[in-house]
Chains A and B, each alone.
Chain A
């Protein structure tokens, strides 16, 4: 696989509290703005980030104390790679978790559509996880 040049990268971490969902969206959005994405592309990215971050808060740490680790890498071919990591409970069955409408938390009105939304609004979605250790979600989107 031909490696691509990285043009810019940011990494940040912040507490896994719900008020930071908007902070993550805005921060990633601001960083991606340097590539002049369309309004739609930016909205897609922010929505996907919002889903991944919400999963950290609601599921990974189950609203307990924890940290979300985010890095955003911009490549010369206008690909954006966003990695959202946590050190939470992990996902035992990733395939099942990625199924539309599946949720481990129906009482809280979780729609079970988080991964589906991420898949719809990005080009590639990778999920890796170890139970008891944490989860990493990688989103890739190539801007026009």
Chain B
């Protein structure tokens, strides 16, 4: 099932929840995006959540909170969270917060998902 709003599209299939986030992730947009992803995670109970950031043009530390918060929810429901296609800038912000210490959160390197 695919659901879409201005910033975030979720698609669930075979235990995997694909989340495509588009545009700018800041405190303002993170609120609705968080609600959208949480709704999809709680209703579908996926094993894997993929946050695809290829269409994200900007992210500040509110996006960091969004990603870490989804990993926390993932821990509650037994899901891993993968961040895919993050720009170098976003990876830098993620590394500043030491997200590598979060067990169920994986920041994919570029080579992992070449189509």
- Interface of A with B (CB < 8 Å)? 18-19, 21-22, 25, 43, 46-47, 50-51, 54, 57-58, 100-101, 108-111, 113-114, 116-117, 120
Partner of A113, one of B26, B28, B97: B97
- Interface of B with A (CB < 8 Å)? 24, 26-28, 30-31, 34, 58, 60-62, 64-66, 68-69, 89, 92-93, 96-98
Q: Provide the bound-state CA to CA distance between A21 and B96, in Å.
A: 22
Q: Provide the bound-state CA to CA distance between A114 and B92, in Å.
A: 14
Partner of A47, one of B30, B60, B69, B97: B60
Determine how close the nearest CB of chain A comes to the CB of B100; give it in whole angstroms. 14
Q: In the complex, are the beta carbons of A114 and B68 less than 8 A apart?
A: no
Determine how close the nearest CB of chain B comes to the CB of A45; give it in whole angstroms. 12
Q: Provide the bound-state CA to CA distance between A52 and B109, in Å.
A: 30
Closest residue of A by beta carbon distance from B87: A43
Q: Provide the bound-state CA to CA distance between A50 and B65, in Å.
A: 14
Interface hub of B30, B61, B92 (most chain A Cβ within 10 A) = B61
Q: A22-B26, A113-B97, A117-B61 are in contact. List 4 more A-B contacts (CB 8 A).
A: A43-B89, A47-B58, A109-B30, A110-B65
Interface class of chain A by DSSP: helix
Q: Provide the bound-state CA to CA distance between A117 and B26, in Å.
A: 13
Instruction: Knowing A54-B60, A109-B34, A111-B64, say if A117 contacts B27 (CB, 8 Å).
Output: no
Q: In the complex, are the beta carbons of B64 and A113 less than 8 A apart?
A: yes
Q: In the complex, are the beta carbons of B26 and A100 less than 8 A apart?
A: no
Q: In the complex, are the beta carbons of A51 and B89 less than 8 A apart?
A: no
Instruction: Knowing A18-B28, A21-B27, say if A113 contacts B96 (CB, 8 Å).
Output: yes
Partner of A111, one of B26, B65, B89: B65
Interface hub of B24, B62, B89 (most chain A Cβ within 10 A) = B62
Q: In the complex, are the beta carbons of A111 and B58 less than 8 A apart?
A: no
Q: Provide the bound-state CA to CA distance between A51 and B66, in Å.
A: 15
B contact residues around A50 at 8 Å (CB): 26, 58, 60
Partner of B60, one of A18, A19, A51, A57: A51
Partner of B26, one of A21, A108, A109, A120: A21
Determine how close the nearest CB of chain A comes to the CB of B58; give it in whole angstroms. 7
A contact residues around B98 at 8 Å (CB): 101
Closest residue of B by beta carbon distance from A24: B26
A selection of 25 A-B contacts at a CB cut-off of 8 Å is A18-B26, A18-B31, A19-B28, A21-B27, A22-B28, A25-B26, A43-B89, A47-B60, A47-B89, A54-B26, A54-B27, A57-B27, A100-B97, A101-B97, A109-B34, A109-B68, A109-B69, A111-B62, A111-B64, A113-B64, A113-B93, A113-B96, A113-B97, A120-B92, A120-B96
